[in-house]
């Protein structure tokens, strides 16, 4: 039996524009009276910062308000501050590519703005993004570029943050002695500057490095100090990480009764913060704790929860570690068949991780190859030799990858019989989705045909009649009453033509076909907002990165938004509706929120209205997921779609 069951170590990276602790209630009290100027931009930033440790959604809400106002005022410093703070939220939500793109934009803004302090901070934020993307080499490059500016500024606060982040980089690069040197300097700067928030984070990172260096007693000492400071300042994020790492240190030092409090509190905090990865780690930690108490039922209960959550999040390393815990629990319970089963699954996960590492290496080499291929246009002869060398190296890597893939496929083949039933279920689902697709496509084709017939056929006829009547008017002698009736007829004909065009537009908006989903939704929301039935606000994030969404997907999402907005106006009696479309690397998120009267969601499922069924059918067709919340303060619908 393995005597040490490890818990994952987490480095709490910081960004250069860190939050300033303030009284949230006082800030919220100032907001209603604030004028629409640059001071309100800064106020919104400060409010968002206070929410970062407790509610990421609230923090994002105030940051987006800040962006809107900064854009209206063309306030460059406000735009930079928005990016620096909003990307912190994106990082915690694992929207890492979006955060990197925004941070790169902020570097360009800061360089043009000419503020050296902001410029160094933006460089640091780009470096932090690379660190989150597991590219510490690129992160070090940007941090060292920022260091040149910060040394000239002689700002101890920025030097604190720089040392903190360089320590995190070298931790990821497994250069632990170098990392400890930077982090020790960061701790000293934090104490000298009396900055408890950054001190707790620096101590957390320092404790992680001590764990890697196997100096567990020292790790427990600094992690406990980090815990106390984070607890005092309400920094739940740092507190959760400190508790998890202390729990790990207790286990590896044989203090098996102490970590229960750490893992239990970390579990509560991770649920509060909505960070499921930490939740999975805390659950596994509780499984380890009960294992050492020889309470196998409790140990199995928490380990299985950890496995389910890790599987849902596709955390391969965490899945493998949880299988390791389950195998030890089975062995302690004398369930040797179960133990072997978990060990086999752990081996399969390890092979999969190795395969992914090989694939990542091949991708990186391919990128490097393409980059060097461009250089051959300048240095043809020398580059040709390099090209052949790289090609041979790639060929070797591909051959090795194929061998690894073959071994993995062989192992998967042995379990093929167990997957047959699952395949049958998938085929049934595909059959249902195909039927739904046919119905939706038929519906949209019929809408398109009717829209075209109305516009080109009936519209042309009505326009012709109007032209004939206007021509006739000049050739007729009418009494004043008849002339007035004739004019009313022409006005009614104009109204009929406009109504016919509106109906044709609703059936198949031309802007959706010509300019795409983002522009079509913007026009739809602007049109509803202008008629003063409800205040409708549309926001899009990341849509510029992929304007060419599949047309069937665009049409389905457009119809969903139409139905949800109609429900908010017709049933919820809302005064304000927010429609938000967010695109990241792998998913497209649609959020529709209103401040209406809300309803009992169970009644909706039982009633089975046509509108809601249409929404569910379209979401199922796009393989999306619906999250519905409703109550006295309004209704919120979040729909997530996978994007290829």
C-alpha span between 310 and 616 (Å, rounded):
27
Residue 596: the pLDDT is: 85
| CA distance linking residue 553 with residue 520, whole number of Å | 13
Q: How many CB atoms lie within 10 A of CB 274?
A: 13
Q: Are 342 and 320 in contact (CB under 8 A)?
A: no
Residue 241: is its pLDDT beyond 90?
A: yes
Of residues 399 and 626, the one with the higher pLDDT is: 626
pLDDT of residue 350: 83
pLDDT of the residue at 427: 52
Average the pLDDT over 572-576 and give the result: 84
State how beta strands 576-583 and 535-541 pair: parallel
The closest alpha carbon to 590, from 518, 533, 529, belongs to 518
Percentage of residues in the chain with pLDDT exceeding 70? 75
Query: Taking 70 as the threshold, does the pLDDT of residue 459 lie above it?
Result: no
Average pLDDT for the chain: 80
The per-residue pLDDT for range 98-114, each reduced to its tens digit, is 999 999 999 999 888 88
Using alpha carbons, list the distances in angstroms from residue 458 to 374, 454, 463, 499, 501: 58, 5, 8, 12, 10
**Residue 455 scores a pLDDT above 60:** no
pTM score: 0.47
> What is the predicted pLDDT for the residue at 448?
57
In tens, the pLDDT along 542-556 reads 887 666 677 778 888
Of the pLDDT bands very low, low, confident and very high (cuts 50, 70, 90), residue 521 is: confident
How far is it, in rounded angstroms, from Cα 86 to Cα 541?
12
Q: Is the pLDDT of residue 202 over 80?
A: yes
pLDDT of 410 reads: 72
Spell out a b/e string for 402-416, using b for 16 or more CB atoms within 10 Å of the CB, else e. Answer: eebeeeeeeeeeeee
Find the farthest-apart pair of alpha carbons in the chain and give their distance in angstroms, rounded. 108
In this prediction, residue 7 has a pLDDT band, given cuts at 50, 70 and 90, of: very low
70-105 confidence digits (pLDDT tens) = 999 999 988 999 998 999 888 888 888 999 999 999
Residue 384 scores a pLDDT above 90: no
- Tell me the mean pLDDT in the region 249-274: 91
Report the run of H or E that residue 630 belongs to, with start and end: strand 625-631
- pLDDT tier for residue 176 given thresholds of 50, 70 and 90: very high
Judge whether 118 and 80 are in contact, CB under 8 Å. yes
Q: Which pLDDT value is given to residue 421?
A: 58
Tens digit of each residue's pLDDT (9 = 90 or more) over 602-629:
777 666 566 788 888 888 878 888 888 8
> Which pLDDT score is estimated for 403?
80
């Amino acid at each position: 039996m393995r005597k040490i069951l490890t818990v994952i170590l987490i480095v709490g990276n910081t960004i250069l524009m860190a939050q300033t602790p303030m009284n949230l209630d006082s800030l919220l009290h100032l907001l209603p009276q604030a004028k629409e100027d640059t001071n309100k931009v800064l106020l919104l930033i400060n409010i968002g910062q206070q929410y970062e440790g407790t509610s990421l959604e609230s923090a994002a809400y105030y940051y987006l308000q800040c962006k809107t106002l900064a854009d209206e005022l063309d306030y460059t410093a406000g735009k930079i501050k928005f990016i620096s703070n909003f990307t912190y939220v994106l990082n915690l939500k694992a929207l890492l590519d979006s955060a990197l793109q925004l941070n790169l934009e902020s570097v360009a803004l800061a360089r043009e703005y000419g503020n050296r302090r902001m410029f160094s901070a933006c460089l640091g934020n780009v470096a932090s993004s690379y660190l989150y993307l597991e590219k510490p080499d690129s992160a070090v490059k940007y941090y060292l570029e920022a260091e040149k500016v910060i040394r000239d500024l002689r700002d101890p606060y920025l030097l604190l943050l720089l040392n903190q982040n360089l320590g995190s980089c070298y931790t990821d690069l497994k250069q632990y002695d170098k990392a400890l040197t930077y982090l020790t300097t960061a701790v000293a700067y934090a104490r000298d500057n009396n900055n408890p928030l950054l001190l707790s984070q620096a101590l957390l990172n320092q404790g992680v490095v001590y764990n890697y260096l196997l100096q567990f007693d020292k790790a427990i000492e600094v992690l406990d100090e980090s815990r106390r400071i984070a607890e005092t300042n309400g920094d739940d994020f740092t507190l959760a990480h400190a508790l998890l790492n202390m729990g790990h240190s207790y286990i590896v030092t044989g203090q098996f009764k102490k970590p229960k409090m750490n893992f239990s509190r970390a579990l509560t905090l991770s649920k509060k913060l909505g960070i499921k990865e930490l939740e999975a780690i805390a659950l596994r930690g509780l499984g380890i704790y009960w294992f050492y108490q020889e309470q196998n039922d409790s140990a199995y209960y928490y380990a299985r929860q950890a496995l389910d959550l890790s599987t849902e999040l596709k955390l391969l390393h965490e899945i493998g570690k949880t299988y390791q815990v389950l195998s030890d629990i089975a062995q302690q319970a004398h369930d040797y068949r179960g133990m072997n089963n978990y060990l086999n699954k752990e081996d399969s996960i390890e092979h999969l991780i190795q395969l992914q590492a090989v694939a990542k290496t091949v991708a990186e080499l391919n990128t490097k190859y393409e980059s060097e291929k461009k250089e051959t246009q300048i240095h043809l002869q020398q580059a040709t030799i390099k090209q052949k060398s790289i090609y041979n190296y790639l060929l070797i890597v591909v051959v090795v990858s194929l061998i690894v893939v073959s071994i993995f496929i062989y192992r998967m083949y042995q379990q093929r019989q167990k997957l047959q039933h699952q395949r049958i279920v998938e085929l049934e689902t595909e059959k249902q989705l195909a039927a739904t697709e046919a119905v939706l496509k038929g519906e949209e084709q019929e809408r398109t045909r009717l829209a075209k017939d109305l516009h080109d056929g009936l519209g042309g006829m009505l326009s012709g009649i109007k032209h004939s009547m206007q021509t006739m008017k000049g050739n007729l002698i009418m009494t004043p009453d008849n002339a007035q009736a004739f004019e009313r007829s022409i006005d009614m004909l104009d109204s009929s033509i406009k109504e016919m065009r509106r109906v044709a537009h609703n059936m198949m908006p031309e802007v959706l076909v010509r300019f795409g989903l983002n522009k079509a939704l913007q026009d739809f929301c602007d049109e509803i907002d202008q008629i003063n039935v409800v205040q409708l606000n549309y926001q899009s994030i990341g849509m510029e990165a992929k304007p060419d969404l599949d047309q069937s997907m665009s049409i389905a999402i457009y119809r969903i938004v139409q139905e949800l907005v109609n429900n908010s106006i017709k049933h919820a009696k809302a005064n304000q509706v927010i429609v938000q479309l967010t695109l990241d690397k792998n998913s497209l998120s649609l959020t529709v929120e209103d401040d209406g009267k809300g309803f009992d969601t169970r009644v909706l499922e039982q009633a089975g209205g046509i509108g809601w069924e249409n929404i569910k059918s379209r979401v199922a067709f796009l393989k999306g997921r619906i999250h519905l919340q409703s109550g006295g303060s309004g209704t919120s619908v979040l729909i997530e779609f996978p994007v290829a």
